Structure 1
Amino acid sequence: MTLQGKRVLITGASGDLGRAMAYRFLELGADLALQYRSNAAALEPVLEAAKEAGREAVAVAADLARPDGSEVLAAAVREHWAELDGLVNNAGGARAQAFDEIPPDAWEQALRLNLTAPFRLTQLFLPALKACAGSVVNISSVAALTGGAFGPSYAASKAGLIGLTRSAARDLGPHGVRVNALAPGPVESAMTSSLAGPVLDSIIGTTALRRLVDAREIADAAAFLIAAGTAVTGQTLIVDGGRHFS
Protein backbone atom coordinates (compact mmCIF):
# COMPACT_ATOMS: atom_id res chain seq x y z
CA MET A 1 0.00 0.00 0.00
CA THR A 2 1.32 3.43 -0.92
CA LEU A 3 0.21 7.03 -0.76
CA GLN A 4 3.28 8.27 -2.59
CA GLY A 5 2.72 11.82 -3.80
CA LYS A 6 -0.91 11.89 -2.66
CA ARG A 7 -2.15 15.22 -1.31
CA VAL A 8 -4.37 14.58 1.70
CA LEU A 9 -6.27 16.92 4.01
CA ILE A 10 -6.92 15.61 7.53
CA THR A 11 -9.30 17.56 9.74
CA GLY A 12 -9.00 17.29 13.51
CA ALA A 13 -5.33 16.57 12.94
CA SER A 14 -4.16 17.72 16.38
CA GLY A 15 -6.09 14.98 18.19
CA ASP A 16 -4.84 11.47 18.93
CA LEU A 17 -6.47 9.87 15.92
CA GLY A 18 -5.61 12.74 13.58
CA ARG A 19 -1.93 12.62 14.50
CA ALA A 20 -1.83 8.84 14.12
CA MET A 21 -3.21 9.16 10.60
CA ALA A 22 -0.80 11.98 9.79
CA TYR A 23 2.25 9.94 10.84
CA ARG A 24 1.05 6.85 8.96
CA PHE A 25 0.25 8.79 5.80
CA LEU A 26 3.71 10.38 5.90
CA GLU A 27 5.27 6.91 6.18
CA LEU A 28 3.34 5.95 3.04
CA GLY A 29 4.58 9.00 1.11
CA ALA A 30 1.71 11.49 1.33
CA ASP A 31 1.83 15.28 1.49
CA LEU A 32 -0.48 16.69 4.13
CA ALA A 33 -2.70 19.62 5.03
CA LEU A 34 -3.54 19.40 8.73
CA GLN A 35 -6.52 21.26 10.17
CA TYR A 36 -6.60 22.13 13.84
CA ARG A 37 -8.77 24.41 15.95
CA SER A 38 -6.41 25.75 18.60
CA ASN A 39 -3.69 23.25 19.58
CA ALA A 40 -0.97 24.15 17.08
CA ALA A 41 1.74 22.80 19.40
CA ALA A 42 0.41 19.25 19.01
CA LEU A 43 1.24 19.35 15.31
CA GLU A 44 4.80 20.63 15.60
CA PRO A 45 6.30 17.09 15.84
CA VAL A 46 4.23 16.02 12.82
CA LEU A 47 5.50 18.95 10.76
CA GLU A 48 9.06 18.12 11.81
CA ALA A 49 8.55 14.48 10.81
CA ALA A 50 7.31 15.61 7.40
CA LYS A 51 10.36 17.81 6.93
CA GLU A 52 12.68 14.94 7.83
CA ALA A 53 10.85 12.67 5.38
CA GLY A 54 11.05 15.23 2.58
CA ARG A 55 7.28 15.57 2.43
CA GLU A 56 5.16 18.70 2.30
CA ALA A 57 2.97 19.40 5.34
CA VAL A 58 1.08 22.53 6.33
CA ALA A 59 -1.00 23.20 9.44
CA VAL A 60 -4.16 25.27 8.99
CA ALA A 61 -6.18 26.82 11.83
CA ALA A 62 -9.97 26.71 11.39
CA ASP A 63 -12.90 26.18 13.76
CA LEU A 64 -15.20 23.75 11.96
CA ALA A 65 -17.92 24.21 14.57
CA ARG A 66 -18.37 27.79 13.30
CA PRO A 67 -20.70 28.37 10.34
CA ASP A 68 -17.83 29.75 8.22
CA GLY A 69 -15.18 27.29 9.41
CA SER A 70 -15.28 25.04 6.34
CA GLU A 71 -14.93 27.98 3.97
CA VAL A 72 -11.95 29.32 5.94
CA LEU A 73 -10.23 25.94 5.75
CA ALA A 74 -10.96 25.39 2.06
CA ALA A 75 -9.63 28.82 1.11
CA ALA A 76 -6.38 28.21 3.02
CA VAL A 77 -5.78 24.77 1.49
CA ARG A 78 -6.48 26.06 -2.03
CA GLU A 79 -3.56 28.45 -1.61
CA HIS A 80 -1.30 25.38 -1.58
CA TRP A 81 -3.04 22.84 -3.82
CA ALA A 82 -5.41 23.02 -6.78
CA GLU A 83 -6.05 19.27 -6.62
CA LEU A 84 -6.76 16.95 -3.70
CA ASP A 85 -6.28 13.18 -3.64
CA GLY A 86 -7.77 12.57 -0.22
CA LEU A 87 -10.07 14.26 2.28
CA VAL A 88 -10.32 12.74 5.76
CA ASN A 89 -13.21 14.27 7.70
CA ASN A 90 -11.93 13.38 11.15
CA ALA A 91 -12.77 16.46 13.27
CA GLY A 92 -15.60 15.70 15.65
CA GLY A 93 -16.81 15.32 19.18
CA ALA A 94 -19.60 16.10 21.60
CA ARG A 95 -20.09 16.43 25.31
CA ALA A 96 -21.34 13.29 27.01
CA GLN A 97 -24.78 14.35 28.25
CA ALA A 98 -27.99 12.56 29.12
CA PHE A 99 -30.84 12.81 26.60
CA ASP A 100 -32.91 15.20 28.72
CA GLU A 101 -29.93 17.42 29.54
CA ILE A 102 -28.75 18.37 26.05
CA PRO A 103 -29.45 22.07 25.35
CA PRO A 104 -30.40 23.05 21.79
CA ASP A 105 -27.13 24.92 21.19
CA ALA A 106 -25.04 21.86 22.13
CA TRP A 107 -27.11 19.72 19.78
CA GLU A 108 -26.62 22.19 16.94
CA GLN A 109 -22.90 22.46 17.57
CA ALA A 110 -22.48 18.67 17.45
CA LEU A 111 -24.32 18.55 14.13
CA ARG A 112 -22.22 21.38 12.67
CA LEU A 113 -18.95 19.75 13.65
CA ASN A 114 -19.74 16.07 13.06
CA LEU A 115 -22.03 16.26 10.03
CA THR A 116 -22.36 19.68 8.42
CA ALA A 117 -18.60 20.33 8.20
CA PRO A 118 -17.89 17.03 6.35
CA PHE A 119 -20.76 17.81 3.96
CA ARG A 120 -19.53 21.34 3.25
CA LEU A 121 -15.89 20.34 2.91
CA THR A 122 -16.78 17.61 0.43
CA GLN A 123 -18.77 20.18 -1.54
CA LEU A 124 -16.04 22.80 -1.41
CA PHE A 125 -13.27 20.41 -2.44
CA LEU A 126 -15.28 18.54 -5.04
CA PRO A 127 -13.60 20.18 -8.07
CA ALA A 128 -10.17 19.38 -6.55
CA LEU A 129 -11.23 15.78 -5.85
CA LYS A 130 -12.73 15.29 -9.31
CA ALA A 131 -9.51 16.50 -10.92
CA CYS A 132 -7.60 13.47 -9.66
CA ALA A 133 -10.35 10.92 -8.90
CA GLY A 134 -9.83 11.46 -5.20
CA SER A 135 -11.19 9.72 -2.13
CA VAL A 136 -13.16 10.93 0.89
CA VAL A 137 -13.01 9.12 4.23
CA ASN A 138 -15.58 10.17 6.83
CA ILE A 139 -14.67 9.20 10.39
CA SER A 140 -17.94 8.09 11.94
CA SER A 141 -18.14 5.94 15.08
CA VAL A 142 -19.49 2.60 16.21
CA ALA A 143 -21.72 4.76 18.43
CA ALA A 144 -23.67 5.51 15.24
CA LEU A 145 -24.73 1.87 15.24
CA THR A 146 -25.08 1.19 18.96
CA GLY A 147 -25.75 4.51 20.69
CA GLY A 148 -23.03 4.95 23.24
CA ALA A 149 -21.42 6.66 26.19
CA PHE A 150 -20.95 9.99 24.43
CA GLY A 151 -24.67 10.62 24.17
CA PRO A 152 -27.44 11.14 21.61
CA SER A 153 -26.01 14.18 19.82
CA TYR A 154 -22.76 12.35 19.08
CA ALA A 155 -24.45 9.10 18.03
CA ALA A 156 -27.06 10.83 15.87
CA SER A 157 -24.60 13.07 14.05
CA LYS A 158 -22.22 10.17 13.43
CA ALA A 159 -25.12 8.08 12.11
CA GLY A 160 -25.99 10.93 9.79
CA LEU A 161 -22.41 10.86 8.54
CA ILE A 162 -22.88 7.26 7.42
CA GLY A 163 -26.00 8.29 5.49
CA LEU A 164 -24.09 11.18 3.93
CA THR A 165 -21.32 8.77 2.95
CA ARG A 166 -23.70 6.47 1.08
CA SER A 167 -25.46 9.29 -0.71
CA ALA A 168 -22.23 11.03 -1.69
CA ALA A 169 -20.76 7.78 -2.97
CA ARG A 170 -23.69 7.34 -5.37
CA ASP A 171 -23.63 10.96 -6.54
CA LEU A 172 -19.86 11.30 -6.91
CA GLY A 173 -19.01 7.82 -8.19
CA PRO A 174 -19.60 8.77 -11.84
CA HIS A 175 -16.87 11.40 -11.39
CA GLY A 176 -14.41 8.81 -10.11
CA VAL A 177 -14.60 10.07 -6.51
CA ARG A 178 -14.91 7.37 -3.86
CA VAL A 179 -16.54 8.08 -0.49
CA ASN A 180 -16.34 5.71 2.49
CA ALA A 181 -16.80 5.86 6.24
CA LEU A 182 -14.76 4.44 9.09
CA ALA A 183 -16.54 3.53 12.33
CA PRO A 184 -13.88 3.29 15.05
CA GLY A 185 -14.43 2.49 18.61
CA PRO A 186 -13.49 2.41 21.31
CA VAL A 187 -10.09 3.94 20.47
CA GLU A 188 -7.39 4.51 23.06
CA SER A 189 -7.40 8.31 23.15
CA ALA A 190 -7.98 11.36 25.31
CA MET A 191 -11.67 11.14 24.43
CA THR A 192 -12.11 7.63 25.86
CA SER A 193 -9.87 8.33 28.84
CA SER A 194 -12.30 11.07 29.86
CA LEU A 195 -14.93 8.42 30.59
CA ALA A 196 -15.42 7.20 34.14
CA GLY A 197 -13.49 4.03 34.92
CA PRO A 198 -16.52 1.73 35.29
CA VAL A 199 -17.98 3.03 32.01
CA LEU A 200 -14.75 2.39 30.13
CA ASP A 201 -14.35 -1.05 31.73
CA SER A 202 -17.86 -1.94 30.64
CA ILE A 203 -17.16 -0.86 27.06
CA ILE A 204 -13.94 -2.91 26.90
CA GLY A 205 -15.75 -5.87 28.39
CA THR A 206 -18.20 -5.94 25.49
CA THR A 207 -15.52 -6.08 22.77
CA ALA A 208 -14.50 -9.43 21.39
CA LEU A 209 -10.79 -8.58 21.74
CA ARG A 210 -11.25 -7.20 25.28
CA ARG A 211 -9.15 -4.15 24.53
CA LEU A 212 -9.26 -0.65 23.11
CA VAL A 213 -8.44 -0.09 19.47
CA ASP A 214 -5.03 1.46 18.79
CA ALA A 215 -5.21 4.71 16.81
CA ARG A 216 -2.65 3.28 14.40
CA GLU A 217 -5.12 0.56 13.46
CA ILE A 218 -7.58 3.24 12.40
CA ALA A 219 -4.81 5.02 10.50
CA ASP A 220 -4.06 1.87 8.52
CA ALA A 221 -7.72 1.44 7.63
CA ALA A 222 -7.97 5.09 6.52
CA ALA A 223 -4.85 4.71 4.38
CA PHE A 224 -6.37 1.69 2.66
CA LEU A 225 -9.50 3.66 1.80
CA ILE A 226 -7.49 6.64 0.51
CA ALA A 227 -5.13 4.56 -1.63
CA ALA A 228 -5.91 4.25 -5.32
CA GLY A 229 -6.70 1.01 -7.09
CA THR A 230 -9.77 -0.11 -5.14
CA ALA A 231 -13.42 -0.27 -6.08
CA VAL A 232 -14.54 0.17 -2.48
CA THR A 233 -17.02 3.03 -2.14
CA GLY A 234 -20.16 3.76 -0.14
CA GLN A 235 -19.04 1.42 2.62
CA THR A 236 -18.68 1.73 6.39
CA LEU A 237 -15.63 -0.11 7.67
CA ILE A 238 -16.03 -0.97 11.36
CA VAL A 239 -12.76 -1.13 13.31
CA ASP A 240 -13.79 -1.62 16.91
CA GLY A 241 -12.22 -4.79 18.29
CA GLY A 242 -15.45 -6.67 17.81
CA ARG A 243 -17.87 -4.46 19.75
CA HIS A 244 -20.51 -4.46 17.04
CA PHE A 245 -21.15 -7.14 14.42
CA SER A 246 -23.20 -6.00 11.42
Structure 2
Amino acid sequence: MDVDFSGKVVLVTGASAGIGEAAALLFAQYGASVALVGRNEKNLLSVTKRCEQSKGNPALAIVADLGTDAGCEETARRTKERFGRLDVLVNNAGVTARSTLQTADMQTFDTVFAIDVRGVYNLTRLLVPELIKTKGNIVNVSSISGSMVAVGSLPYSMAKAALDHFTRVISLELAPLGVRVNTVSPGVTISKIVQRVTNFTDEQYNEFLNEAAGAIPMGEVCTGEDVAKMILHLASDNSRLVTGVIVQVDGALQYAKLGNLMKKQVK
Protein backbone atom coordinates (compact mmCIF):
# COMPACT_ATOMS: atom_id res chain seq x y z
CA MET A 1 0.00 0.00 0.00
CA ASP A 2 1.25 3.46 -0.90
CA VAL A 3 0.50 5.13 2.44
CA ASP A 4 2.64 6.68 5.16
CA PHE A 5 1.47 7.51 8.67
CA SER A 6 4.88 8.43 10.09
CA GLY A 7 4.49 11.07 12.78
CA LYS A 8 0.72 10.50 12.93
CA VAL A 9 -1.31 9.41 15.95
CA VAL A 10 -4.22 7.04 15.33
CA LEU A 11 -6.88 5.92 17.81
CA VAL A 12 -8.58 2.60 17.01
CA THR A 13 -11.53 1.44 19.11
CA GLY A 14 -12.51 -2.20 19.37
CA ALA A 15 -8.86 -3.05 18.75
CA SER A 16 -8.53 -6.26 20.74
CA ALA A 17 -9.73 -8.51 17.89
CA GLY A 18 -11.08 -8.69 14.36
CA ILE A 19 -11.18 -5.61 12.15
CA GLY A 20 -9.87 -3.32 14.91
CA GLU A 21 -6.87 -5.54 15.57
CA ALA A 22 -6.05 -5.72 11.86
CA ALA A 23 -6.40 -1.94 11.47
CA ALA A 24 -4.21 -1.14 14.49
CA LEU A 25 -1.46 -3.46 13.26
CA LEU A 26 -1.56 -1.98 9.74
CA PHE A 27 -1.42 1.60 11.00
CA ALA A 28 1.58 0.67 13.15
CA GLN A 29 3.21 -1.10 10.20
CA TYR A 30 2.92 2.11 8.18
CA GLY A 31 4.52 4.26 10.83
CA ALA A 32 1.73 5.49 13.10
CA SER A 33 1.76 5.74 16.86
CA VAL A 34 -1.46 4.08 17.96
CA ALA A 35 -3.88 4.20 20.87
CA LEU A 36 -5.95 1.04 21.13
CA VAL A 37 -9.24 0.69 23.01
CA GLY A 38 -10.97 -2.54 23.98
CA ARG A 39 -12.62 -4.43 26.80
CA ASN A 40 -10.62 -7.67 26.62
CA GLU A 41 -7.47 -6.62 28.47
CA LYS A 42 -5.43 -9.71 27.67
CA ASN A 43 -6.06 -9.51 23.93
CA LEU A 44 -5.67 -5.74 23.88
CA LEU A 45 -2.25 -5.85 25.56
CA SER A 46 -1.12 -8.53 23.10
CA VAL A 47 -2.14 -6.43 20.08
CA THR A 48 -0.55 -3.33 21.62
CA LYS A 49 2.77 -5.13 22.10
CA ARG A 50 2.75 -6.28 18.48
CA CYS A 51 2.07 -2.70 17.34
CA GLU A 52 5.05 -1.44 19.35
CA GLN A 53 7.29 -4.11 17.89
CA SER A 54 6.29 -3.29 14.31
CA LYS A 55 8.23 -0.04 13.82
CA GLY A 56 9.25 0.77 17.37
CA ASN A 57 6.69 3.55 17.72
CA PRO A 58 4.73 3.95 20.97
CA ALA A 59 1.37 2.29 21.43
CA LEU A 60 -1.13 2.87 24.21
CA ALA A 61 -3.63 0.30 25.48
CA ILE A 62 -6.84 1.70 27.00
CA VAL A 63 -9.21 -0.80 28.62
CA ALA A 64 -12.57 0.96 28.54
CA ASP A 65 -16.28 0.47 27.92
CA LEU A 66 -17.23 3.02 25.28
CA GLY A 67 -20.90 2.45 26.05
CA THR A 68 -20.35 4.62 29.13
CA ASP A 69 -19.52 8.31 29.47
CA ALA A 70 -16.64 7.44 31.78
CA GLY A 71 -15.14 5.08 29.21
CA CYS A 72 -15.29 7.70 26.43
CA GLU A 73 -13.89 10.42 28.68
CA GLU A 74 -11.01 8.25 29.87
CA THR A 75 -10.17 7.26 26.30
CA ALA A 76 -10.08 10.87 25.11
CA ARG A 77 -8.10 12.06 28.14
CA ARG A 78 -5.46 9.33 28.06
CA THR A 79 -4.91 9.66 24.30
CA LYS A 80 -4.37 13.42 24.57
CA GLU A 81 -2.13 13.08 27.64
CA ARG A 82 0.06 10.40 26.07
CA PHE A 83 0.44 11.75 22.54
CA GLY A 84 -0.61 15.42 22.67
CA ARG A 85 -2.39 15.15 19.31
CA LEU A 86 -4.71 13.01 17.22
CA ASP A 87 -4.69 12.61 13.43
CA VAL A 88 -7.08 9.71 12.80
CA LEU A 89 -10.03 8.38 14.81
CA VAL A 90 -11.26 4.92 13.83
CA ASN A 91 -14.65 4.24 15.43
CA ASN A 92 -14.71 0.47 15.11
CA ALA A 93 -16.00 -0.77 18.49
CA GLY A 94 -19.42 -2.32 18.29
CA VAL A 95 -21.70 -5.07 19.49
CA THR A 96 -24.40 -6.97 17.68
CA ALA A 97 -27.52 -8.92 18.54
CA ARG A 98 -29.63 -11.37 16.59
CA SER A 99 -33.29 -10.61 17.17
CA THR A 100 -36.55 -9.49 15.61
CA LEU A 101 -39.15 -7.02 16.85
CA GLN A 102 -41.13 -9.90 18.35
CA THR A 103 -38.16 -11.46 20.14
CA ALA A 104 -36.18 -8.39 21.19
CA ASP A 105 -36.14 -6.81 24.64
CA MET A 106 -35.24 -3.24 25.53
CA GLN A 107 -32.04 -4.23 27.30
CA THR A 108 -30.69 -5.62 24.02
CA PHE A 109 -31.72 -2.47 22.19
CA ASP A 110 -30.11 -0.21 24.80
CA THR A 111 -26.85 -2.19 24.86
CA VAL A 112 -26.44 -2.10 21.08
CA PHE A 113 -27.24 1.61 20.79
CA ALA A 114 -25.08 2.56 23.78
CA ILE A 115 -21.92 1.31 22.08
CA ASP A 116 -22.69 1.40 18.36
CA VAL A 117 -24.28 4.86 18.29
CA ARG A 118 -24.01 6.80 21.56
CA GLY A 119 -20.42 5.79 22.21
CA VAL A 120 -19.34 6.80 18.71
CA TYR A 121 -21.18 10.12 19.01
CA ASN A 122 -19.67 10.84 22.44
CA LEU A 123 -16.06 9.88 21.69
CA THR A 124 -16.10 11.78 18.40
CA ARG A 125 -17.55 14.83 20.15
CA LEU A 126 -14.77 14.73 22.73
CA LEU A 127 -11.93 14.33 20.23
CA VAL A 128 -13.00 16.44 17.27
CA PRO A 129 -11.19 19.55 18.63
CA GLU A 130 -7.91 17.61 18.34
CA LEU A 131 -8.75 16.52 14.79
CA ILE A 132 -9.50 20.10 13.81
CA LYS A 133 -6.03 21.11 15.02
CA THR A 134 -4.31 18.47 12.87
CA LYS A 135 -6.74 18.60 9.92
CA GLY A 136 -7.23 14.92 10.61
CA ASN A 137 -10.01 12.53 9.74
CA ILE A 138 -12.50 10.00 11.05
CA VAL A 139 -13.26 6.53 9.71
CA ASN A 140 -16.38 4.86 11.09
CA VAL A 141 -16.83 1.11 10.74
CA SER A 142 -20.43 0.28 9.94
CA SER A 143 -21.99 -2.74 8.23
CA ILE A 144 -24.01 -3.46 5.12
CA SER A 145 -26.75 -4.33 7.63
CA GLY A 146 -27.30 -0.60 7.87
CA SER A 147 -28.35 -0.33 4.24
CA MET A 148 -29.68 -3.76 3.25
CA VAL A 149 -32.87 -5.30 4.60
CA ALA A 150 -32.76 -8.77 6.14
CA VAL A 151 -34.73 -10.29 8.99
CA GLY A 152 -32.74 -11.12 12.10
CA SER A 153 -30.68 -8.20 13.35
CA LEU A 154 -33.12 -5.37 13.98
CA PRO A 155 -31.38 -3.20 16.64
CA TYR A 156 -27.97 -3.74 15.04
CA SER A 157 -29.27 -2.76 11.59
CA MET A 158 -30.92 0.35 13.02
CA ALA A 159 -27.72 1.32 14.85
CA LYS A 160 -25.58 0.95 11.73
CA ALA A 161 -28.06 2.96 9.67
CA ALA A 162 -27.78 5.70 12.28
CA LEU A 163 -23.98 5.51 12.10
CA ASP A 164 -24.06 5.86 8.31
CA HIS A 165 -26.15 9.02 8.57
CA PHE A 166 -23.92 10.34 11.36
CA THR A 167 -21.06 10.10 8.86
CA ARG A 168 -22.98 12.04 6.22
CA VAL A 169 -24.09 14.82 8.56
CA ILE A 170 -20.81 15.47 10.36
CA SER A 171 -18.80 15.22 7.13
CA LEU A 172 -20.69 18.29 5.95
CA GLU A 173 -20.35 19.99 9.34
CA LEU A 174 -16.59 19.41 9.60
CA ALA A 175 -15.54 19.84 5.94
CA PRO A 176 -15.00 23.62 6.24
CA LEU A 177 -12.74 22.88 9.22
CA GLY A 178 -10.56 20.51 7.19
CA VAL A 179 -11.71 17.28 8.84
CA ARG A 180 -12.84 14.40 6.63
CA VAL A 181 -15.34 11.75 7.76
CA ASN A 182 -15.96 8.44 5.98
CA THR A 183 -17.39 5.00 6.65
CA VAL A 184 -16.26 1.50 5.74
CA SER A 185 -19.18 -0.90 5.53
CA PRO A 186 -18.12 -4.58 5.72
CA GLY A 187 -20.13 -7.57 4.64
CA VAL A 188 -19.71 -11.01 6.21
CA THR A 189 -16.29 -10.85 7.85
CA ILE A 190 -14.41 -13.63 9.62
CA SER A 191 -14.72 -12.70 13.28
CA LYS A 192 -15.63 -14.14 16.66
CA ILE A 193 -18.54 -11.71 17.01
CA VAL A 194 -21.05 -13.83 15.07
CA GLN A 195 -19.92 -16.97 16.85
CA ARG A 196 -20.41 -15.29 20.24
CA VAL A 197 -23.87 -13.95 19.53
CA THR A 198 -25.17 -17.16 17.95
CA ASN A 199 -23.34 -19.68 20.15
CA PHE A 200 -22.19 -21.46 17.00
CA THR A 201 -19.64 -24.22 17.45
CA ASP A 202 -16.49 -23.93 15.33
CA GLU A 203 -18.00 -26.43 12.91
CA GLN A 204 -21.30 -24.54 12.68
CA TYR A 205 -19.48 -21.24 12.17
CA ASN A 206 -17.37 -22.69 9.36
CA GLU A 207 -20.56 -24.01 7.76
CA PHE A 208 -22.07 -20.52 7.99
CA LEU A 209 -19.00 -18.95 6.37
CA ASN A 210 -19.06 -21.49 3.56
CA GLU A 211 -22.75 -20.92 2.95
CA ALA A 212 -22.23 -17.15 3.01
CA ALA A 213 -19.35 -17.39 0.54
CA GLY A 214 -21.58 -19.36 -1.81
CA ALA A 215 -24.14 -16.56 -1.77
CA ILE A 216 -21.65 -13.72 -2.24
CA PRO A 217 -21.22 -12.78 -5.91
CA MET A 218 -17.41 -12.65 -5.61
CA GLY A 219 -17.41 -15.99 -3.78
CA GLU A 220 -15.46 -15.01 -0.65
CA VAL A 221 -16.14 -13.67 2.82
CA CYS A 222 -14.01 -10.77 4.06
CA THR A 223 -11.06 -10.96 6.39
CA GLY A 224 -10.27 -8.30 8.96
CA GLU A 225 -7.32 -7.21 6.85
CA ASP A 226 -9.54 -6.68 3.78
CA VAL A 227 -11.52 -4.13 5.74
CA ALA A 228 -8.45 -2.65 7.47
CA LYS A 229 -6.80 -1.87 4.13
CA MET A 230 -9.79 0.22 3.10
CA ILE A 231 -9.73 2.00 6.47
CA LEU A 232 -6.10 2.95 5.88
CA HIS A 233 -6.81 4.07 2.33
CA LEU A 234 -9.59 6.40 3.45
CA ALA A 235 -7.48 7.71 6.34
CA SER A 236 -4.48 8.42 4.11
CA ASP A 237 -3.59 11.39 1.94
CA ASN A 238 -4.59 9.27 -1.06
CA SER A 239 -8.18 10.17 -0.08
CA ARG A 240 -7.53 13.82 0.77
CA LEU A 241 -10.71 15.06 -0.95
CA VAL A 242 -12.90 12.07 -0.09
CA THR A 243 -15.46 12.74 2.63
CA GLY A 244 -19.00 11.70 3.48
CA VAL A 245 -18.80 8.38 1.63
CA ILE A 246 -19.94 4.89 2.65
CA VAL A 247 -17.58 2.32 1.10
CA GLN A 248 -18.80 -1.28 0.98
CA VAL A 249 -16.22 -4.04 1.38
CA ASP A 250 -18.49 -7.01 0.83
CA GLY A 251 -17.88 -8.76 -2.50
CA ALA A 252 -21.25 -7.36 -3.71
CA LEU A 253 -23.05 -9.07 -0.84
CA GLN A 254 -25.32 -6.06 -0.43
CA TYR A 255 -26.88 -6.79 -3.81
CA ALA A 256 -27.49 -10.47 -3.16
CA LYS A 257 -30.66 -11.87 -1.63
CA LEU A 258 -29.43 -13.07 1.73
CA GLY A 259 -32.56 -12.76 3.82
CA ASN A 260 -32.82 -16.49 4.38
CA LEU A 261 -29.13 -16.79 5.25
CA MET A 262 -29.37 -14.04 7.88
CA LYS A 263 -32.60 -15.50 9.25
CA LYS A 264 -30.76 -18.72 10.14
CA GLN A 265 -28.74 -16.82 12.74
CA VAL A 266 -31.84 -15.77 14.70
CA LYS A 267 -32.54 -17.74 17.84
> Alpha-carbon deviation of 1:49?
2.4
Paired residue type of 2:231: A
> Alpha-carbon deviation of 1:202?
4.2
Cα 1:149–1:84 shift into 2, 3 Å: farther
Match of 2:49 in 1: 48
Distance of 1:149 and 1:76 partners within structure 2? 40
SS at structure 2 position matched to 1:5: coil
Is 1:240 equivalent to 2:250 in the alignment?
Answer: yes
Match of 2:33 in 1: 31
> Alpha-carbon deviation of 1:200?
4.4
Match of 2:220 in 1: 211
Q: Is the contact made by 2:141 and 2:183 (CA closer than 8 Å) also made in structure 1?
A: yes
Q: What is the correspondence of 1:1-246 to structure 2 with a 5 Å cutoff?
A: 1-37=3-39, 39-52=40-53, 53-148=55-150, 151-194=153-196, 195=198, 197=204, 200-229=209-238, 230-245=240-255
> Alpha-carbon deviation of 1:199?
5.0
Question: What's the RMSD between the two structures over aligned residues?
Answer: 1.9
Q: Is the contact made by 1:138 and 1:182 (CA closer than 8 Å) also made in structure 2?
A: yes
Count of matched residue pairs: 245
Q: Deviations over 1:7-41 (max 9, x none)?
A: 0000001121111111111111111000011x121
Q: Deviations over 1:188-216 (max 9, x none)?
A: 11123455546544433321122210111
Identity of aligned residues (%): 30
Distance of 2:178 and 2:25 partners within structure 1? 27
Paired residue type of 1:5: G
Which region of structure 1 is more displaced relative to structure 2, 81-90 or 132-141?
81-90
Which region of structure 1 is more displaced relative to structure 2, 52-61 or 76-85?
76-85
Q: Deviations over 1:113-151 (max 9, x none)?
A: 101111111110011000110110010001111144761
Which region of structure 1 is more displaced relative to structure 2, 73-82 or 144-153?
144-153
In structure 1, runs of 5+ residues without a counterpart are: none
Distance of 2:92 and 2:103 partners within structure 1? 26
Q: Is the contact made by 1:11 and 1:34 (CA closer than 8 Å) also made in structure 2?
A: yes
SS at structure 1 position matched to 2:183: strand
Distance of 1:150 and 1:3 partners within structure 2? 39
> Alpha-carbon deviation of 1:95?
2.0
SS at structure 2 position matched to 1:101: coil
In structure 2, runs of 5+ residues without a counterpart are: 257-267
Paired residue type of 2:221: L
Q: Is the contact made by 2:68 and 2:119 (CA closer than 8 Å) also made in structure 1?
A: no
Distance of 1:199 and 1:49 partners within structure 2? 30
Cα 1:109–1:35 shift into 2, 3 Å: same
Distance of 1:63 and 1:17 partners within structure 2? 18
Q: Is the contact made by 2:80 and 2:86 (CA closer than 8 Å) also made in structure 1?
A: no
Distance of 1:54 and 1:5 partners within structure 2? 12
TM-score (norm 2): 0.86
SS at structure 1 position matched to 2:147: helix
